[in-house]
Structure 1
Amino acid sequence: MKRAVIRLAIAALSMPLAASAVKAQDKPLPSLNQSAPSPDRRTLSQLVKTLMTSGLDGKYDNGYAQAGGLSGPMPLKAAVAPIGDEVRRCHIVYEADKAAGNRPVCIKLVRTKKTKNNLEERHYRINLDGKLEAAITLRNKRDGKGKGMKEGRSRVVEDINSPEIQKAFKTEMAFWLKDWLRKQKRPAAKKPAAK
């Protein structure tokens, strides 16, 4: 009975994504890899709950949203993890609803690699069941001062079934569901009593 209720809740949360959040691209996205195992739903729902409760507020603006595979501007809750020259971000994209509460519609994992002359971002759009729906790579050439150049921009819709994308996706999911989430669950260290 519990599983049926959870499946209905997840299906209800996923509906807005199909209805309003995803824009059909000129080039159709590759089909989902049905053989790839999805992460433990309980762990994934803990990630969503943690970010919806304590994540940083943000919003995908129109151009960035569409470049990353969304239909338009959408609010998000975020976590950021800088690691060396790279930055990892986890976004819970949601539909704001004051009456019913904010409804998550998808998860976006973004990994940014920045060098003096280039900026590369890979966006993974994941449904609330943990299935990879899209992988999009954005590249932007930078001038000598580190500013982005309009003529150096590109957007590539990746094949989500390719071994390279699957391996990179699994690495990102493992980071957010194991490493990052585990750190969030740790209780705060007790301070010694003042004398």
Structure 2
Amino acid sequence: MTETTYAVIFAGGKSSRMGEDKALLPFGNYSTLTEFQLAKLNTIFDKVYISAKENKFGFDCMMIEDNYTENSPLVGIISIFETLKVEEVFILSVDAPFVNKETIEKLLEHNESMLDVIVAQSPSGLQPLCGLYKRSILPLAHIQLAKGNHRLKDLLRLANTFFVKFDEDTPFTNLNHPEEYQKALRTFENR
């Protein structure tokens, strides 16, 4: 029998550049980008959660609410491991809809016990919100939180991190601005 696998969608960002909550924007055949990501990850993982400051979603989902007042992915990671009694979890940002099953499987095939994190690295740089995080990262994450350093790239440099190189940026396209969202909608419709 195989172990239960877990994934978490990070959907708690402020979406200030988008001008509205991107996690709640429609995408594909779904009412929200979050539901689109949830449906995709549910085909790969046994249990999929959503990480955010509060449950702002009008659909049935398993939530992990942040345990701290600060608003950052670092806080999300700490809250996940404080809430779930799991050894590892795959994390994906809600605004990266083109990360597909093949991309995720390529990351997971590098899973080794001595690693704290396995994340994607594309030509434009690290993709810290597309990767497998392990409970062993928690002490380092707490140290960074105490220092007030919320930068995931700094955390990844301190941890035993494996960077999986990808040749293209396209799968990791983030929808930060209205024009990026509109372009992604068109791209998805033409697939």
Tell me the TM-score range normalised by the shorter chain: under 0.3
Q: Which has the higher contact order (CA 8 A, sep 6+)?
A: 2
**Structure of larger gyration radius:** 1
Q: TM-score, normalised by structure 1?
A: 0.25
